[in-house]
């Protein structure tokens, strides 16, 4: 008897995970109503936008990063929702990641964060950030990757690839020129096309072309008198035109200002804008968004066709198929041992040993009897606060606790003195540290206590620097000066007078003034390094880990050592109507070390600087060719040897000096680097290949990249001020 056959219904193309994404996009688009199209391009809550329920598309959930998955807030308020399952691993701030100069760790960082996001049901992490460190006063520099476009580019790409490998979209921010927090909605940046292309855009371009980022967030500031969330030049001409970006442009929260501008000038998804929600009422405030009912009315009135809308929806659907509609997403897990190990490794790799007189570090645990820890930052949680990157960490090991734990059983007595009192509040948007840091003693009595204890200590470790309070390292405001707050200078000066082994550990995302720098034995840059902070810092201070971090920015002696301040262009000038600030980047391409090189300024600590507990010898620089074509490459090889008695890692840095004289060029520019780990006595050959943009500059006359022909000098070493090896080659 013949077997009966059963017909199988064929799935619509948009539900077929094996079909090409573009085919699925067009199929889904053809099935959507006008209301469904309008709905998916704007928020429905503080951090979510709607899917298309009729077609089976789930809602889309974003969350702040880039250092961990932010705790959930209420549907329509910034206050925390009070959940008990939204704690996370706090990873080091991105300044620390950049200081590792280690792209392998950037991939680990992104992947670990993506796994936490997946467990929490988040589809997009609002990060990473790659705005350039133009001035150490920018309150948000700690979220970014330093001053150099090549370093930021090399570090952001693997972060994105790691994050998106889990099925979580990256949303690279803040595009672009977001180098101020004070009056960030009013600053109109005036910058040369060359500086824009050579300094401020390369990391974003790498994120798009090499990292294939699925999301880009517009910035609050203006460029060419247009807000960057609705900017014809940056979004339409550069991002979607020149770079052929196929992902979504997301507004920063409240970054949209006008329906017609947003529609025409490249914005795809609007979040956070309140518009006239107070008048409409909280129940339908999201319908009042610029790209909600006001946009729909303009279409219905014939002022727009659906051409622009369909293009935005295509990008949103593409995002859905990469995330919420993908069957290949990671399951994810939260607060795992692997994630804590990753956070610890990144922190240890990024801590920078800035100064080490008499090799006072590492602490000699075999002969020391007393260690005095001083400073509020030794006992203050740093994962809470700072703005949108504030976290609810499952745990945070404080520096004092990390040192006590590491020295337990060694016979070394660990004592503590407060030294200074700073911000004792400890809460942000409903997340509280649970700490009670109030101390009503006077500054003189606090210093007196610390000095008295320091007289009998073998080592005095001062944990100072900044915190994540307003006007320090925090979103929304810039710092008011480079000086340390809370009277820390007087504290350090007093301690240095009574103890020769004072070690200052600076907790910050920015450079600070150190007028007492020559009076202390050692200085360590400790960053904001998250959950494993105390453990990581202790491991470096006692020598369990050999420090290998390198500064991702120039550390000036004072503000006038940087072009933004020397030329008086920061923070800009208010227009007569007092609505907009014009800030001209008069220094052009001369940011950071490019400026100090040009002006022959000696910084406190140079870009790329970082010491080790061992020593390295770099020798025998040779090039594979002495002449290279404009579209070719040249490979430099050096021999690196660990000449000390400890295993350690060194960053080989390659800079190029264009001596052709054809165009105004910096004294030198970073063009390549590689981190190498060596055992005592071990040697290794390290090769770095450069080409393409390494030979080019942005020609404003041609409005394009142009190769500068002629002679170059290659400089290789371990910091921008320590480049002993040189070789010449010619670009023809």
- Give me the active site residues, please: 252
CA gap 525, 523 in Å, rounded: 7
CA gap 88, 531 in Å, rounded: 9
> Which residues have a Cβ under 8 Å from the Cβ of 617 and sit 6 or more positions away?
640, 641, 643
CA gap 689, 671 in Å, rounded: 9
Element (H, E) at 540: helix 533-541
CA gap 515, 495 in Å, rounded: 14
Q: Is 614 helix (H, G, I), strand (E, B) or coil?
A: coil
Report phi then psi at 620, rounded to 5: 60, 55
Buried b / exposed e over 619-635, threshold 16 CB at 10 Å, is eebeeeeeebeeeeebe
Name the token pair of 375.
Answer: 């400073």
Report phi then psi at 126, rounded to 5: -80, 80
Q: Confirm if 667 and 677 have CB atoms less than 8 A apart.
A: no
> Which residues have a Cβ under 8 Å from the Cβ of 524 and sit 6 or more positions away?
351, 352, 353, 354, 361, 503, 504, 505, 506, 537, 540, 541, 547
Q: Confirm if 581 and 188 have CB atoms less than 8 A apart.
A: yes
State the DSSP code for 390: -
CA gap 344, 537 in Å, rounded: 10
Q: Confirm if 96 and 529 have CB atoms less than 8 A apart.
A: yes
Nearest by Cα to 659 from 708, 712, 697: 712
Name the token pair of 56.
Answer: 């089976």
Q: Confirm if 597 and 666 have CB atoms less than 8 A apart.
A: yes
Q: Is 512 helix (H, G, I), strand (E, B) or coil?
A: coil
Q: How many residues does the chain have?
A: 732
- The residues pairing with 657 across neighbouring beta strands, listed in sequence order, are 713
Nearest by Cα to 79 from 446, 427, 530: 427
Catalogue the E-assigned strands of 198-239: 215-218, 222-223, 226-227
């Amino acid at each position: 008897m013949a077997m009966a056959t059963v017909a199988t219904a064929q799935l619509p193309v948009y539900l077929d995970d094996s079909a090409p994404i573009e085919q699925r996009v067009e199929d889904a688009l053809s099935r959507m109503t006008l209301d469904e199209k309008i709905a998916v391009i704007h928020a429905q809550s503080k951090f979510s936008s709607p899917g298309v329920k009729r077609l089976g598309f789930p809602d889309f959930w974003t969350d702040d990063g880039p250092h961990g998955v932010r705790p959930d807030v209420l549907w329509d308020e910034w206050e925390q929702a009070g959940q008990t399952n939204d704690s996370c691993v706090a990873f080091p701030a991105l300044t620390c990641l950049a200081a590792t100069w280690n792209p392998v760790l950037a991939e680990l960082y992104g992947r670990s964060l993506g796994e936490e996001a997946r467990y929490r049901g988040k589809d997009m992490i609002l990060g990473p950030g790659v705005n350039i460190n133009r001035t150490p006063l920018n309150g948000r520099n700690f979220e970014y990757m330093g001053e150099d476009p090549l370093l930021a580019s090399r570090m952001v790409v693997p972060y994105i690839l790691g994050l998106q490998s889990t099925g979580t979209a990256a949303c690279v921010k803040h595009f672009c020129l977001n180098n101020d927090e004070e009056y960030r909605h009013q600053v109109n940046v005036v910058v040369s096309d060359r500086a824009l292309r050579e300094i401020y855009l390369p990391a974003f371009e790498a994120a798009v072309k090499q990292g294939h980022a699925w999301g880009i967030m517009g910035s609050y500031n203006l460029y060419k008198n247009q807000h960057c969330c609705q900017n014809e030049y940056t979004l339409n001409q550069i991002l979607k035109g020149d770079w052929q970006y196929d992902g979504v442009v997301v507004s920063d929260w409240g970054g949209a200002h006008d329906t017609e501008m947003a529609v025409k000038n490249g914005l795809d998804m609007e979040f956070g804008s309140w518009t006239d929600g107070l008048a409409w009422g909280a129940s339908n405030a999201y319908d009042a968004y610029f790209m909600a009912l006001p946009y729909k009315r303009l279409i219905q009135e014939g002022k727009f066709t659906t051409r622009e809308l369909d293009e935005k929806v295509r990008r949103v659907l593409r995002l859905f198929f990469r995330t919420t509609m993908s069957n290949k997403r990671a399951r994810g897990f939260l607060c795992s041992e692997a994630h804590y190990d990753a956070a610890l490794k990144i922190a240890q790799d990024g801590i920078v040993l800035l100064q080490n007189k008499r090799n006072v570090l590492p602490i000699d645990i075999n002969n020391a009897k007393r260690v005095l820890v001083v400073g509020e930052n030794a006992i203050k949680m740093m994962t809470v606060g700072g703005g949108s990157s504030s976290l609810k960490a499952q745990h945070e090991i404080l520096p004092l606790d990390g040192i006590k734990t590491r020295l337990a059983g060694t016979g070394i007595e660990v004592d503590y003195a407060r030294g200074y009192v700073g911000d004792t509040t400890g809460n942000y948007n409903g997340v509280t540290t649970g700490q009670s840091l109030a101390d009503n003693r006077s500054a003189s009595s606090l210093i007196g206590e610390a000095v008295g204890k320091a007289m009998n200590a073998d080592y005095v470790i001062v944990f100072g620097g900044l915190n994540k309070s307003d006007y320090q390292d925090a979103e929304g405001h810039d710092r008011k000066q480079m000086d340390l707050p809370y009277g820390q200078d007087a504290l350090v000066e007093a301690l240095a007078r009574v103890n020769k082994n004072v070690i200052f550990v600076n907790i910050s995302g920015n450079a600070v003034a150190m007028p007492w720098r020559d009076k202390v034995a050692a200085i360590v840059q400790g960053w904001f390094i998250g959950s494993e902070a105390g453990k990581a810092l202790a491991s470096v201070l006692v020598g369990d880990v050999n420090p290998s971090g390198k500064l991702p920015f120039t550390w000036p002696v004072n503000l006038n050592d940087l072009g933004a301040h020397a030329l008086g262009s920061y923070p800009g000038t208010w227009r007569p109507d007092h609505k907009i600030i014009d800030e001209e980047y008069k220094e052009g391409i001369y940011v950071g070390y490019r400026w100090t090189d040009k002006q022959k300024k000696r910084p406190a600590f140079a870009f790329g600087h970082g010491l080790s507990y061992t020593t390295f010898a770099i020798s025998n620089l040779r090039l594979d060719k002495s002449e290279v074509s404009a579209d070719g490459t040249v490979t430099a090889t050096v021999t690196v040897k660990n000449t000390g008695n400890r295993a350690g890692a060194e960053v080989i840095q390659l800079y190029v000096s264009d001596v052709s004289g054809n165009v105004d060029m910096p004294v030198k520019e970073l063009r390549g680097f590689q981190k190498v780990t060596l055992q005592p006595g071990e040697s290794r050959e390290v090769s770095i290949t450069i080409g393409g943009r390494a030979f080019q500059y942005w020609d404003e006359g041609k409005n394009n990249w142009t190769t500068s022909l002629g002679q170059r000098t290659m400089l290789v070493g371990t910091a921008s001020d320590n480049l002993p090896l040189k070789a010449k080659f010619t670009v023809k």
